[in-house]
Amino acid sequence: MKRWILAAMCVLTLAACGRKATVTKLDIVPEPVFMVQKEGVFTLHSTLKMSITGVGQNSPAMKCVMKTLRSAHLHPSLVPSSSASDIELVLNDTANTELGEEGYLLEVRGDGISLSANTEAGLLYGVQTLMLMLPPDVMKVSYSSVTLPECTILDYPRFEWRGLAVEDSVCVLDKKFVKRLVDVMLQYKLNRLQFASSCAMDTDELSELCEYASARNVYLQFLDSCGLDFETDTVLCRRGFYEGLERAREGCSVVMCPADYCSFDRYQADPRYQPKASAGVVTLARTYAFDPVPDGTSAHLAEAIVGGCGRYAVPKGSDTRRAEYMLLPRTLALAEVLWSPVERREWGSFRRKIEQQKERLSARGYSYCEGSFTPIFTARRVDDATMNIEITTEVPNTYIFFTTDSSTPTRASSVYIGPVNMTRGTHIKILPVYKGEERDSVYEFVIK
């Protein structure tokens, strides 16, 4: 009995001490404009001191900051002087023109963390980037300390309009869902949420949602069936690039929403392994390939394109879990497309980063799609008879079992471990397996 009591006391003591974590690599989505990681470290403890300069601590944005920190089991106490703080938030009294309206400068030094911005929106986004430095399960696990690498991040958006449009004509989305969606949008720096909706929310509920979103720099808008927002005279262009150019010539600001990249009610992987969705496939990689201003666009027309938008039409019989599943993680790909400079975007890097973001979403209870397991082939000529074959999927750590003797592959078949030379005419069959489960059909290719 005494041993049992002693063991229980040890467990309670360890729980009270909390876990410690050391972060060695920063995986930020969307990718910042400028980020350099340095040699030193700073250890952030669960109890910390924070100073706020230039903005009232009771403003809606700062209340949101405090709530964000507490949700990560950080318990800041406010102090008047930055010299005594672990984290200092500064609203610039003289604007840093490089940062603009939504940018921020975040520095992790050996003696603390400094965040400055021209606006409260910039401070909000800087805090979200800081949250993305913490362990993915920080919302579930109370860490007594997290050691971060010293770094400098200067960041601001490529486009001013970074949005989602939700068409909910069957009244399945409730207030809780909208708030959870707004939280994701803040985390990944999206700032426009549009509804073409017939939901019967009363005035008080709508007002509550608008206040909640506004405090997180997300603007709620309600569109008519044509996609026009009469307050801003902005066109949500759903049908693609060329229609957008026509509207730009008419003097409208244009938000690009081409269906082949941005229709989130389409399948995001092999339809045989996915919940029923609209015809067509828009994978994570496809959304990531979206550019609202493709190469060759004239400067005049490019100026009229103010951003992009993902669209989700809620199907009859749907629910909020299904809606989250269809929106995530493609919304994260859209976020990086619309925030990050083109030269800072790279699919291989994003593909790796998205795995950690899935852990974050899971820790917060969100539903999401793992991704497409359809094999992606890259063939390079070795000689007249031989090709070098590389096989990947959207999802890292996917096991690829294959055969070349026309037999059906199983988990006992050969495992692909890297680029391999194959003779032209070889018939290869592939079975993708992820986390111990067969996630897709058997695929067949002939090497040509």
Q: What CATH number has the domain bearing residue 76?
A: 3.30.379.10
Q: What is the mean pLDDT of residues 130-151?
A: 96
| 4 is a domain residue | no
Residue 163 sits at φ, ψ, to 5 deg, of -135, 175
For residues 400 and 353, membership in a common domain is answered with: no
Residues 118-146 have a mean pLDDT of: 96
Q: Are residues 356 and 397 in the same domain?
A: no
The arithmetic mean of pLDDT across residues 257-266, rounded, is 95
CATH number at residue 427: 2.60.40
Separation of alpha carbons 7 and 63, rounded Å: 41
Same domain, 244 and 259: yes
Q: Report the pLDDT value the prediction gives residue 253, as an integer from 0 to 100.
A: 83
pLDDT of residue 5: 44
In this structure, of 4-8, 31-35, 232-236, 411-415, the range with the lowest mean pLDDT score is 4-8
Judge whether residue 377 has pLDDT over 90.
Answer: no
- Please, what is the Cα angle at 239 between 236 and 241, to 5 degrees? 85
Asked whether residue 368 is assigned to any structural domain, the reply reads no
Q: Does residue 10 belong to any structural domain of this protein? A: no
Is residue 44 located within the same domain as residue 77?
Answer: yes
Query: How far is it, in rounded angstroms, from Cα 367 to Cα 353?
Result: 18
Asked whether residue 90 is assigned to any structural domain, the reply reads yes
**Percentage of residues in the chain having pLDDT higher than 70:** 88
332 falls in which pLDDT band (50, 70, 90)? very high
pLDDT of residue 140: 92
The answer on 402 and 320 residing in a single domain is no
Q: Residue 437 has what pLDDT? A: 86
* Number of domains, the chain: 3
* Of 219, 130, 188, the residue nearest 331 (C-alpha): 188
Q: Is the pLDDT of residue 192 over 90?
A: yes
Query: Within this chain, do residues 257 and 315 fall inside the same structural domain, yes or no?
Result: yes
Mean of pLDDT values over 384-407: 93
Last residue of a domain, one of 126, 155, 184: 155
Asked whether residue 72 falls in the same domain as residue 200, the answer is: no
Q: Report which secondary-structure segment, H or E, holds 402.
A: strand 399-403
Average pLDDT over residues 349-377: 95
pLDDT at 240 over 80: no
pLDDT tens-digit readout, 6-31: 444 443 334 445 799 999 999 999 99
pLDDT on residue 224: 55
Give the pLDDT band of residue 297 (cuts 50, 70, 90).
confident
370 is a domain residue: no
Does residue 375 carry a pLDDT above 70? yes
- Residue ending a domain, choose from 307, 330, 363: 363
Residues 186 and 257 in one domain: yes
pLDDT at residue 231 tops 50:
no
Beta-bridged to residue 310, according to DSSP, are 164
Higher local confidence (pLDDT), 230 or 182: 182
The stretch 153-174 carries a mean pLDDT of 87
Residues 185-195 have a mean pLDDT of 95
Q: By the 8 A CB rule, do 232 and 219 touch?
A: no
Both 45 and 60 in one domain: the answer is: yes
In a domain, 369, yes or no: no
Rounded alpha-carbon distances, angstroms, from residue 307 to 33, 108, 188, 254? 17, 31, 15, 7
Question: Is 371 among the domain residues?
Answer: no
Structure tokens at 131: 């949250």
Decide if pLDDT at 374 tops 70. Answer: yes
Residue 113 is predicted with a pLDDT of: 97
Which of these three, 301, 335, 363, is where a domain ends?
A: 363
Residues 221 and 181 in one domain: yes
Residue-range definition of the domain harbouring residue 172: 161-363
Cis-peptide into 329, omega within 30 deg: yes
225: domain CATH number is 3.20.20.80
Range of lowest pLDDT (70-74, 225-229, 370-374): 225-229
Q: Is the pLDDT of residue 248 over 80?
A: no
66 three-state secondary structure:
helix
Residue identified by tokens 């230039």 is 54
Closest residue by Cα to residue 182 from 224, 220, 144: 220
Mean pLDDT for the stretch of residues 370-375: 92
Name every residue whose Cβ is closer than 8 Å to that of residue 35 and which is 6 or more positions away in sequence: 26, 28, 151, 152, 153, 154, 155
Mean pLDDT of 37-52: 94
Question: How sure is the predictor about 230, in pLDDT bands with cuts at 50, 70 and 90?
Answer: very low
Q: What is the mean pLDDT of residues 273-283?
A: 93
Which band of pLDDT confidence, cut at 50, 70 and 90, is reported for residue 229?
very low
Q: Please give the average per-residue pLDDT across 119-127, as a whole number.
A: 98
In a domain, 420, yes or no: yes
| Residues 146 and 128 grouped into a single domain | yes
- What mean pLDDT is reported for the chain? 88
The confidence score (pLDDT) of residue 250 equals: 66
The region of weakest confidence among 96-105, 316-325, 411-420 is 316-325
- Same domain for 74 and 214, yes or no, is no
Say whether pLDDT at 235 is over 90.
Answer: no
pLDDT score of 197:
81
CA atoms within 13 A on the CB side of 235: 21
For residue 170, what pLDDT band results from cuts at 50, 70 and 90?
Answer: low
What's the pLDDT score for residue 233? 44
